[in-house]
Structure 1
């Protein structure tokens, strides 16, 4: 039983009584398995989602602290604070770069045709300690994970094999390897080092080619982690279907929880609710001992798609005695913070400490973000001081997180002080954070000066680094400077990809040129094998919706689906808003949402009523 039960007398046994507390549920096995034998009304296909409320009659459970915080799922809507109940905060920065960012996929259909010599996500060695490029430890092979722990953040991971592949970017990895083995031994450590370098640069195509060669040449004896790494790469490069097909070819003795949780993580990264639930249920049907990583994936999924189901996952975690990790608590803290439930957020922090887990830098950063959002600046500053510590040199690693938070508080002096710690010998991500911070403070000259210093120190910057300044220009409607910066990117040989397209879209939208932004995104999608970011589509869709332009809003909805993005409530909100602003009925919209497994919340239900072609009013009732 979790230590939190013994840590405080406030965490007592909770009894769920008929008509008392209720948990919103789905007939997904998450809940039905927990309640099997306790509720005869739970029947049917486990993959069919239901949004009825489940009354737990006759069922008792000893509840730990954070489950009690979440036990009344419907309280989310009442805790929304200043946020609209009709809007989902799906565009917010979740703060979970540990998993979400590193698991995010760019669908590339033909691995053999991908030119990764100048990848959109290629980074320098100085950038290897960036959180946004870290691969989750759970998705690495054992050797990769061990190397990742031992590596120097500044120097990255040395690999002769990786350097050999990078020296001949136009050749397939198999040809390079056939020659490389003539004078070199293929060791597991060397392979793991190369794989880790590929992953950190998101050069998944090259990593997949190396994995294919290793298996076909029998240079390494594959174990479950190696097969899981292959599943992950296939999902990222060729898609979920190919990854699932590959699992069928893995020797049965190696088809364990590690394999399926890897597929689950990629399903969640794609936002595929139905497939994610199917994979999780299959893991339970196969009676795998599920780790917290798999439950965290479900929590991450429901955080983005249906927060009411979070309580169900926590209930099952406790029943199966699965101990929450730092990531679990970060996610729950962030969910509470999104709804401006500060007391609930702080209660989860106390529960975390009672479990013996001290909040780390990432967790504290999430707390600061929500304190600032809630107007609790004093609390935010207290946490920031904790993050700094007493010795500036000892907390150099925290500077990158401190800069944007002090900027959000409007503390220009504090931003200057923190930047002074780094200025003499800045790291790449510290420069990026400082540029972003000065941009938030509207000090364009200082942001540009740091950018020039960064460009001088690292001549081969990636588009990610250019895009920070480009976004500042977009925020300040500086179209001319933005165009000049993009031209500079092209002249430097920097490949322009999804991150840059997104910044360009924002630049033209802020300048009032929505059609130009639409044109740029359309050309980018047609001319490249990397798909644009979902936010790029949403920004344009939002602008069309505001104008009541039904045709173009529907067009963007369709293009998102063509790009492989799963429809979410946010897209439907924009789509319905277009019909509302056009004062036109939207025929069949409810059926479209049902087909996409989208179930409206209160706000979306109100919007649907406004576009119902068959709604009745006082006059129609009289006529009837």
Structure 2
């Protein structure tokens, strides 16, 4: 554990040193520089007039732990993730997978809803439960009627049966249906409610109807059932939506309520800081070390991906070695993360070596790895491997393999093969969700096949599929790629006005980047403000685009630095140079003569 925090703090101090050097070149009063760096690499704000930054305090005599920040604070120059957590439609039909194959469910979600003491009672096999089949056989708004029919036929709904069906529903991210199941259970009292039942419903309300509704519901939970599991659920949802202030508030409240610091809670903070402020990750690890909280396999996977996605391959490999020295073995998910990061870093040989380890001696016996192999080999543009793996899957393709194959064939420029896989999915006999269309649509977008993309959208609409955030994103990008930014903005406006979904951040950026390229300051500002209105916090990436629009338009950006400061955005070296170009008061040869 000590070795782990040492690795993280060492690489963090290097980054912070470079950041401080950049800031010293910016003409900002000393009291307004964002941080002073202590020997333990923790961050403390020294300027009372400025917004408070992330601060972690520890008092061993009182046993107090605390994480606090102003929401939205960013590390300098940090790129944002342009995706959001899963967003589902309210009580209408979900965009979940209706195939017979089980999708992935995050380990943290399973840990959240199925305590270790109960794990043995929940059987998550390959066969779908009969109750699950009954629920998915009806439309999304008729879950209650399906359950009523089940009981009317004299079939029992006990805790184990209900939990198995719930897990299989969640695996397909059919959260609208899952919420209706919990509402029916609350009304019909088939068995006595326990804390995890309330936690499950809180989680689903937060996912489907928003965290505000979740906050309202938690007040209705009987106090005797408002325990650690309920607050862990709330913390998980705040972390998933990158709500820094609320997540830290719940984290601290759990301590105030006397709950012990858990690996799960720390993992949620790591997930959060991975998105919004990677410098804070070392602080969380240090806190775990001080309270003797042992990192889980999930903890290591978060850290491995954090290092890898930052292109710090050496740091990633050090985390892996530390993990192995602690006796924690890599699972398939960890291996996949490592292979993807090797591939992204251009380390083809290392990536392929890891993929061969994942495959094992027999791919037919290790069929479950095919999805990841197809995806990563596609990224590496290994057409021979993509064809080899798909040949094994082709006779009886699984749903997730099929989606991965469509994208993989797109990556190796075999659009016809991608289309053939799509047609095969349509003939699988299951109701096809919009996700399937979205995947093929992405292939068309990447290959600038606008006409085919438009035809696919029409086919999708005619099939009665609900259009979700991923599909809107692909449609918007399609129009931008076709040079029809006005239609792209119109589609974005429709998606924004929909009550069922929240457009992805990338959807806004597709349109915004095109206006930036054109030097259209008015429309760039309009998209910038709309993003704020729908709930996206201003980030480094969005300000970078906005300033570039002013530069391209050769227009002065009045007050832009004050706007950034208000949003806790502080520039790196590149953005400082960009700001200088948009400075309305910058000196020119002509201004020197006039002076």
Please give the TM-score of this superposition, normalised by the length of structure 1. 0.80
Residue aligned with 1:586, SS:
coil
Give the whole-Å Cα distance in 2 for the aligned partners of 1:20 and 1:492.
60
Residue aligned with 1:394, SS:
coil
Give the whole-Å Cα distance in 2 for the aligned partners of 1:620 and 1:572.
28
Match of 2:181 in 1: 210
Match of 1:137 in 2: 110
| 1:463-509 CA-partner distances (Å, limit 9, x unpaired) | 11122211111111111111222222223333322221111112222
CA contact (8 A) 1:30 1:312 kept: no
Give the whole-Å Cα distance in 1 for the aligned partners of 2:459 and 2:512.
29
CA contact (8 A) 1:105 1:269 kept: no
**1:90 aligned residue (55, 69, 81):** 81
| Unaligned runs of at least 5 residues, structure 2 | 14-35, 46-51
Give the whole-Å Cα distance in 2 for the aligned partners of 1:613 and 1:565.
28
Match of 1:320 in 2: 291
- 1:237 CA drift (Å): 2.3
CA contact (8 A) 1:541 1:557 kept: yes
Match of 2:33 in 1: none
Note if 1:33 corresponds to 2:57: yes
- 1:400 CA drift (Å): 1.1
**1:583 aligned residue (554, 569, 575):** 554
Query: 1:167-246 alignment to 2 at 5 Å?
Result: 167=138, 169-171=140-142, 173=144, 181-182=151-152, 183-246=154-217
Query: 1:365-380 alignment to 2 at 5 Å?
Result: 365-380=336-351
| 1:214-258 CA-partner distances (Å, limit 9, x unpaired) | 334444322221121121112112222221232233233332221
**2:368 aligned residue (371, 388, 397):** 397
CA contact (8 A) 2:520 2:549 kept: yes
Give the whole-Å Cα distance in 2 for the aligned partners of 1:132 and 1:584.
49
Give the whole-Å Cα distance in 1 for the aligned partners of 2:305 and 2:67.
32
Match of 2:31 in 1: none
Query: 1:200-599 alignment to 2 at 5 Å?
Result: 200-458=171-429, 460-527=431-498, 529-599=500-570
Q: 1:312 to 1:253 in 2, by over 3 A?
A: same
- 1:122 CA drift (Å): 4.0
- 1:316 CA drift (Å): 0.5
Q: Larger deviation: 549-558 or 600-609? A: 600-609
| 1:270-322 CA-partner distances (Å, limit 9, x unpaired) | 12122112221222222311211111111111111111111111111111111
Q: 1:193 to 1:51 in 2, by over 3 A?
A: closer
Note if 1:121 corresponds to 2:96: yes
Give the whole-Å Cα distance in 2 for the aligned partners of 1:123 and 1:375.
36
Give the whole-Å Cα distance in 2 for the aligned partners of 1:419 and 1:255.
48
Give the whole-Å Cα distance in 2 for the aligned partners of 1:278 and 1:515.
41
Residue aligned with 2:41, SS:
strand
Q: 1:462 to 1:144 in 2, by over 3 A?
A: farther
CA contact (8 A) 2:98 2:430 kept: no
- 1:260 CA drift (Å): 1.2
| 1:560-617 CA-partner distances (Å, limit 9, x unpaired) | 2333333333222222222222222333334433444444444444444443444567
Give the whole-Å Cα distance in 2 for the aligned partners of 1:380 and 1:170.
45
Match of 1:23 in 2: 41
| Unaligned runs of at least 5 residues, structure 1 | 53-73, 75-84, 93-99
- 1:386 CA drift (Å): 0.8
- 1:146 CA drift (Å): 3.8
Q: 1:19 to 1:339 in 2, by over 3 A?
A: closer
